[in-house]
Structures are given as structure tokens and as C-alpha cells.
Structure 1
């Protein structure tokens, strides 16, 4: 897998406005959907009730929670971007979130992203706005589009 590897924040900041490599495929399984339902207490039948889904859902298969797609952004970005001086990263928020297409169980997703904004945040931190689009294999519309905002803190030893 291709990655963006930077030694430090100074090098990372030079990638503002640039597109990142395309992420690896991640398969959304029923086990993931059930675990997400357990974690969020969101047991809407479209996600977890296999008998009712077969009878009543227009998709005839379970669909993932929209927020499951969003929650994968952190992992997908961490897989693509390595900053060797990074001490830790923290989720800061989301802007302009949309879920244009449902994610059917066993779909494969991958991230298309770019670094939209890089701003200073405290003495040893950065606030990054990532433009993200989560592709569903074989589907024209994305699962999710969002501006994802995170904080990164540099180990300055």
C-alpha cells in the first residue's frame, strides 16, 4: 500500500492541498455492524434484524450504520499517513457530513482523501482538515463524504 510518510510536522505541512494515496479496501461485515450496534445501542432493524430485513428492506441485506462509515475515517487515515515525530492524534470534529449511498453488508470500502487545511494548534500541535470520500466498490455514489478535523501532537524530544 502506498503511504504518505513524513519525518516531522514541517514536512507534513508541505502536503497541504495535495491528494493522499488511495486507501486499502476494508470489508464491512455483519460482525462489525453488530459490534457497532452494541457500542452505540443503535439496534434499528435495518442493521441487525436479518429476518425482517429479508422481508421488508428494499436492500434485502443489512446496511451499516452511517456513523460506522465515519468512524472508519480515523483508521483509514492512520493507515495512509505516517508522521514519524507524531506523539498522538485526536479527533476534533466533522464538517459537511453526508451519506450519499448505504453500505450493504460485505461491501468493500476505501478512502479517497486530501489535506484541505493545516493550522497551528498549541505549541506542538496541528489542526488538520481532511477532505474525505469513502468509496464503495462497484457503486458510483460514495458511502460518506465529510470534512474530518483532527489534532496531531508532535513529540519534540
Structure 2
């Protein structure tokens, strides 16, 4: 690992890098996501029908809405390591173990899982990212995000 960029960051493999503040998942935010993506399934936007017919008793956030919260929940913890540029390279895995009901509070927990030499002198990082739901034993999203960090 001595030849990799960002040796201080590399030494944190297996450690938590960040834990975000709680974020309110409101119906208004769910509706805005539905409008932005064109995904207007009733389970997400029809409060009355969801209350009457959904097994959750309320509307739930889209899985991809929950996933899309990760950048904002992460903040800029790579900035602590003098990263000049960070590129979102994708996700190795994404799962949605539990629904995120409207009105929930969620937060992100981020663990550095692995590092390797990336292209063009970058550091390739895999960050285990979990969206926790306040009061739930199961997370709303777990993802292994991949980033390329350039010195």
C-alpha cells in the first residue's frame, strides 16, 4: 500500500469514515423524486391508497430515491485527505433490505472496505454505505460504492 496515493486514507481500510446527521424523508421529497424520474407508482405518491392498501400503511420512498441520498449523506470526507478530484465510478452492489416509509428519518454510515491502484494514478476505493432508518433493525439501502480519487 506504500505505493498507493493517499496513504493516510489507505490506512483506514475497515474503519468507519463518516456517520451523517439524520435526514427527513418527507412526502414532498418523495413526490419531487417521482416527478424527476417519472416513477409515479401509487405506493410512493398516493397517501390515501397506500394507507388503505399497502402492507406498510403509508407511502414509501423509491429505492433509487434512497440510493440517491448517499452523496448528500456522505458529505466531503475525502476532502480531509487532500483529494483533488473524486469520481463516482459506480456501485458493485446495491440492495434495499427494508422500505423507507414517508416521514422516516434516515442517516448514512460509511466504511472504507478496500483500496487499490486505479487508472491514471488514482486510488480506487470501495466504500460500504448503509442508509439506516431510525427505529428499524434493517437498513433502507446497502451499497458498495466505488470511487476514483485523484491526488
Correspondence for 1:116 among 93, 113, 116: 113
Check 1:80–1:86 CA distance in 2 against 1; reply closer, same or farther (3 A cut). Answer: closer
Q: CA–CA distance in 1 between the matches of 2:96 and 2:140?
A: 6
* Alignment gaps of 5+ in structure 2: none
What is the deviation of 1:21? 3.7
Equivalent residue number for residue 39 of structure 2: 42
Number of equivalent positions: 147
Equivalent residue number for residue 103 of structure 2: 106
Question: Helix, strand or coil: the match of 2:125?
Answer: strand
Q: Give the TM-score of the pair, scaled to structure 1.
A: 0.83
**8 Å CA contact 1:23, 1:79 repeated in 2:** no
Correspondence for 1:148 among 118, 123, 145: 145
What is the deviation of 1:81? 4.4
Q: CA–CA distance in 1 between the matches of 2:77 and 2:106?
A: 14
User: Alpha carbon RMSD of aligned pairs, Å?
Assistant: 1.9
List structure 1 runs of 4+ shifted beyond 6 angstroms: none
Correspondence for 2:15 among 18, 31, 47: 18
Equivalent residue number for residue 4 of structure 1: none
Question: Helix, strand or coil: the match of 2:69?
Answer: helix
Q: Give the TM-score of the pair, scaled to structure 2.
A: 0.86
**8 Å CA contact 1:23, 1:80 repeated in 2:** no
Of 80-89 and 98-107, the range deviating more from structure 2: 80-89
Q: Does 1:66 align with 2:63?
A: yes
**8 Å CA contact 1:47, 1:65 repeated in 2:** yes
Of 59-68 and 70-79, the range deviating more from structure 2: 70-79
